[in-house]
Amino acid sequence: MNIPLPTKTLTEAEVPEQDPAYDYPFGLVQFSLYCPGLSDGPFPTTVEVTLTFDGATDLSGYMFRKYGPTPDNTASHWYDFSFDGETGIVGRSGNAITFRYVDGRRGDDAINVTDLYIFDQIGPTPPASVPTMSQWGMVLFLLFAGIGAAFTLRRKGKSA
User: Which 8-state DSSP code applies to residue 130?
Assistant: P
Tens digits of per-residue pLDDT, 103-153? 888 998 888 777 778 888 899 998 766 566 778 878 888 888 888 888 888
Would you list the DSSP string of 102-159?
ETTSTT-SSTT---SEEEEEEEEEPPPPPP---HHHHHHHHHHHHHHHHHHHHHHHHH
* Domain extent listing, the chain: 3-125, 132-160
Residue type for position 108:
D
pLDDT of the residue at 3? 46
Tens digits of per-residue pLDDT, 39-82? 555 566 788 888 888 888 889 889 999 999 998 999 999 999 99
State yes or no: pLDDT of 2 exceeds 50.
Answer: no
Query: Coil, helix or strand for 30?
Result: strand
Q: Are 52 and 67 in contact (CB under 8 A)?
A: no
User: Which 8-state DSSP code applies to residue 127?
Assistant: P
Predicted TM-score (pTM) of this structure = 0.71
Nearest-5° angle of CA 15, CA 6, CA 121? Answer: 30
Tens digits of per-residue pLDDT, 86-95? 999 999 999 9
